[in-house]
Structure 1
Amino acid sequence: MEERTEVTTLGEFGLIDYLTRNIEIQQASTIVGVGDDGAVIDHFGKQTVISTDLLVEGIHFDLAYVPLKHLGYKSVVVNLSDIYAMNAIPTQITMSLAFSNRFPVEALNEFYEGVYAACETYGVDLVGGDTSASLKGLLISVTAIGEVAPGQFVKRSTAQKGDILCVTGDLGAAFLGLTMLEREKKIYLESPGVQPDLENRTYILGRQLKPEARKDIIEFLADQGITPTSMMDVSDGLSSEILHICKQSNLGVVLYEEKIPIHQETKEVAMNFGLDPTAAALSGGEDYELLFTLKQDDYDKITLNENISPIGYMTENSEGAHILTKGGNKYKLVAQGWNAFEQ
């Protein structure tokens, strides 16, 4: 039998002390961290960027196949991705949890191991949070704080006509990882004796269970002296994110299907499921890549980076948003991304 310590034996403050016992401060900007009524942060003349996310069991994650350590890691990463999407560097997070009595201290500790692993990887400090009982399930709220030189933050609404539209990494893999996990869960529920067959698809499963945020791209852009004209992260599918930039910048777009970066494993698994890889990239979500626009003058600089793909260009608003298919047809770009309210 695994050891099981009820949370009630520690009490709320005892639990927080236990879960935060090994924190090491990494950021000079963290003046007061966990253990007081509030954290104190001094960004030494930089501007502060703040983003927050709520993750709810049964809506955003399923503990039938998501290990708690991975969930802790992912909860941090999805928030850091939003800070990078503002062209900023994340420096601190707060983490709040509400959980039912089915979670012993050991389970929460495992979750926090993932949280600390992400903090270490990205050089951020956990400076606060809260814990509460919940009637059922697990609820996670993370706030990420970052810093940026004055006026260097990048919004969604500042793209210009003629700008090149770029995306990092590859798309659609996280959605197919989720599709495979859901299939195996269904099989398991129908026949509990059957071992899950994940077909050694480590890439797409990793993209779903343990995504990474694009710190490397923000560092590359800074090194090259490039400031994107607009930027956001790809969490709800490429098409809906492109349409956000179009709407908020009051522009149209031409997207080239053949330019959308898709991993070979994503293509293979999509075919096996009878899905179109392009549809998975356009509508899948949870890729946590960066979508940004650049002035044409910066094009030569980004060709140095194999993790950045130019996928289209921005046009007059009156021309609308279109995708040009491999077959040469032009279709209106529609948002069929993941919607948190359609359950």
Structure 2
Amino acid sequence: MKKFNEKQILNLIVSKFGNKNMEPYIGKDDISIIPLNSLNSSSNEVNDDKFLAVTCDMLVEHTDVPPKMTFEQIARKSVVSSVSDLVSKGIMPKAALISLGLPKSLKNSGISKLINGLSLASEEFGIEIIGGDINESKEIIIDCCMFGTLSSIANIPRRNGACIGDYVVVSGIFGYSSSGLKILMNNLPSPDSYFRKRSVDSVLKPYPSYEFGIFIANYFSSSMDSSDGLASSLYELSKESGVNLLIEEDKIPIPSKLKEFLSINNLDFHDLVFYGGEEYNIVGTISEKNILEISKVLKLHHLKLYIIGKVVSGNGRVFVLTSDGNKKLLKNKGYTHFT
């Protein structure tokens, strides 16, 4: 039998342990939402008016740490992944539990730098680190379990909420992180120093779409982050919602020098833009009505939203209109463990 990949293992866990009596947010949405019964002191009635949002993400050195990443950056990246999961749903992160697996060979200076990186990340994103666990391991492993609270789940976008006629939107540029990883791994030439620095920085110090998520995500009909790749995210939204997505290749925001980088290194556009991953952008769908409603919010907070396609009828596939006018089925691939 063919070995399970990451998503198949996750689906198996959800099928075994998903609690049908709880908010159906377990597993597939990267976050889980738990109702908290709060006691009304005046009437002694129990009200389900508070919810706890929980997510966790594990960083493993040999799969998640690229060359030249410092200990501080390793620790920060472990926090960024969980921040991105929460803010893609419009939920502000509040606290985290951090568990460390550390090899015996790691020097005291390395341990101190990891702790310092966690401290800096907690300050950067306003998160209290409230505990965790430490164990011995063969390589650096950091597990971050992060929490946020909310008073209502009415406007939290799921992956299955995309409706025919909605716009497909993204919060940022695609292509820098894939380019940066190839530069770090293979020392590839770059069009100019700015492209090289921006690409490498996007790998070593990724930034989640924090403000965009907090102020805009609640207007979405569906959403998730793009940490596993743009194509993978688009397919998740289309399959969960039971619709097709039609993406216009020319509307995807990319670096101005990306095509030059592709040309001089003989690389493929789709590999870097659709299949690379770890941009930590938000990918979502939004109605035409809400597009109009958020224009003032975007302007007020100096945020950009990029419309890259439409939601159309179908059964979970993603098509791309290429620059030459052809309509092609996009491959469903991205970064997945155990593949």
The two structures have a TM-score, normalised by structure 1, of 0.77
Aligned-partner Cα distance in 1 for 2:102–2:269? 37
**Rounded Cα–Cα distance in structure 1 between residues aligned with 2:113 and 2:37:** 31
Q: Which residue of 2 aligns with 1:248?
A: 240
Query: Where do residues 134-283 of structure 1 align in structure 2 (5 Å cutoff)?
Result: 134=137, 136-151=138-153, 152-184=155-187, 199=193, 201-221=196-216, 227-283=219-275
- The alpha-carbon distance between structure 1 residues 319 and 55, as it changes in their structure 2 partners (threshold 3 A), is closer
User: 2:96·2:146 contact (CA, 8 Å) conserved in 1?
Assistant: yes
2:71–2:113 contact (8 Å) kept in structure 1: yes
Structure 2, unmatched stretches of 5+, are 1-35, 39-48
Between the aligned partners of 1:113 and 1:268, the Cα distance in structure 2 is: 38
SS at match of 2:121: helix
CA–CA distance in structure 1, aligned partners of residues 51 and 316 of structure 2: 36
1:322 is aligned to 2:319: yes
Number of residues of Structure 1 aligned to a counterpart in Structure 2: 284
1:74/1:267 CA distance change after superposition, 3 Å: farther
| Structure-2 residue corresponding to 1:98 | 101
Per-residue deviation at 1:265? 4.2
Tell whether the 8 Å contact from 1:302 to 1:308 is kept in structure 2 after alignment: no
Paired AA for residue 92 in structure 1: A
Contact 1:80–1:90 (Cα < 8 Å) also in 2: yes
Structure 2 residue corresponding to 1:55, chosen from 49, 52, 59 = 59
Q: How far apart, CA to CA, are the structure 2 residues paired with 1:72 and 1:320? A: 36
Change (3 A) 1:112 1:329: same
Aligned pairs for 1:291-330 (under 5 A) are 291-302=283-294, 305=298, 307-318=304-315, 320-330=317-327
Distance in 2 (CA, whole Å) between partners of 1:326 and 1:69 is 41
After TM superposition, which residue ranges in structure 1, 4 or more long, deviate above 6 angstroms? Answer: none
- Residue 259 of structure 1 contacts residue 311 of structure 1 at CA under 8 Å; is this kept in 2? yes
Q: Quick one: structure 1 residues 320 and 103, their matched pair in 2 at CA, closer, same or farther if it must change by over 3 Å?
A: closer
Partner residue in 2 for 1:189: none
The alignment yields a C-alpha RMSD, in angstroms, of 2.2
| Match status 1:132 vs 2:135 | yes
Query: Aligned partners of 2:294 and 2:270: how far apart in 1?
Result: 23
- TM-fit CA distance, 1:301: 4.1
**CA offsets 1:155-195 (integer angstroms, 9 cap, x no match):** 111111111110011012111111111114x9xxxxxxxxx
CA distance in 2, matches of 1:204, 1:259: 20
Q: Structure 1 counterpart of 2:305, which letter? A: I
Superposition map of 1:82-93 within 5 A: 82-93=85-96
Q: Offset at 1:219? A: 3.4
Structure 1 runs not aligned, ≥5 long: 1-41, 187-197
